[in-house]
Amino acid sequence: MRAVVLTRHGGPEVLAVVDTPEPVPGPDEVLVAVAATALNRADVLQRMGLYPDPRGRTPEIPGLEFAGTVAAVGERVTMWGPGDRVMGIEAGGAYAERLTVHERQLLRVPDHLDLVEAAAIPEVFLTAWDALVVQGGLTSGRWALVHAGASGVGTAAIQIATAIGARIAVTCSAGKAGLCHELGATLVLERSPHDWLADAMAEVPSGFDVVLDVVGGEEVDRNLTAVAQRGAVVQVGLMGGGRTEVNVGLLLARRCRWIGTTLRARPLEEKVALTRRFAAEMLPLFDDGRLRPVIDSRYTLDDIAEAHRRMEANANAGKIVVTI
């Protein structure tokens, strides 16, 4: 099969399309013929040698999400059969024509979506829903604050919060504000050079019940200032850096929770539990149109380096999809 491998760690030029052996599904696994994958910040970090695949497989094939059709199933698989349209997350390997995944990590593709559109769903919607609702406790009528509102996670978070009846404020650059408004953001705050914190607190003086942050760095103190009493800050990324000066007294004053989280390194059982709950509670919202993938651009597998360059330039609004 054709797959993108890391020839070494470094810039986009280290990504190479090569022929590799096709994986064989285990007893509880499904072999998926991948139609499309999508980029995530973790892919860029992995390429740079900063976020390795926890499975340690060689050759090193990046890619955390996919959509495609079932090509074959293991002997104990009961949920899926050849030809079924599926999507899901994996710890790596999605930049390829085939991959294997545990049957209970797969989600059905909504009937009205094609496979390329579906590839833009799994990682960001699972991440946003897990951070806001499962861990953050967001419910109807409460306020969320999400950074990088026009990113993949941001566009998913806006839709999820709106769908459950919560109110959501997002930060973004001026050129991406229109998309955030269109998706249903209650309040859109322009990032630097504007002071989003002052604007946010003027609008929501009691603070935000859940803060979803993909930035880190200098935003940490601002998040702890903006969070409501007994609220939660859920850290899902560090685009702005992992080291900063923090006023720990704000944690005490707010009596809040500051939660660090990732999906990639979780045990299989936790991923399965999260996926099955998402299938029951969120997947129906794609069927009735309340949730939808937001696609910024589409690339082919052979143009994977250009796709990475677009993500690193922060030029995308929504997901960057790669057709296989």
Whether residue 240 is predicted with pLDDT greater than 90 in this model: the reply is no
Question: In the chain, what are the domains?
Answer: 2-121+266-323 (3.90.180.10), 125-260 (3.40.50.720)
Burial 207-225 (b: 16+ CB within 10 A, else e): bbbbbbbbbbeebbbbbbe
How, if at all, do strands 319-323 and 295-300 pair? Answer: parallel
Whether residue 235 is predicted with pLDDT greater than 90 in this model: the reply is yes
Measuring CA to CA, which residue among 168, 166, 164, 196 is closest to residue 181?
A: 168
Residue 177 sits at φ, ψ, to 5 deg, of: -65, -35
Burial 104-130 (b: 16+ CB within 10 A, else e): bbbbbbbeebebbbbbbbbbbbbbbbb
pLDDT reported for residue 218:
87
State the number of CA atoms in the 13 A half-sphere of 217 facing the CB: 9
Beta bridge partners of 35: none
pLDDT reported for residue 297:
98
pLDDT reported for residue 130:
98
Mean pLDDT for all residues in the chain = 96
pLDDT reported for residue 121:
98
pLDDT reported for residue 243:
87
Contact 8, 102 (CB under 8 A): no
Among 171-185, 215-229, 238-252, 285-299, the least confident range: 238-252
Using DSSP, state whether 31 is helix, strand or coil: strand
Measuring CA to CA, which residue among 217, 130, 206 is closest to residue 169?
A: 206
pLDDT reported for residue 69:
98
pLDDT tens-digit series, residues 162-208: 999 999 999 999 999 999 999 999 999 998 777 899 999 999 999 99
Beta bridge partners of 301: none
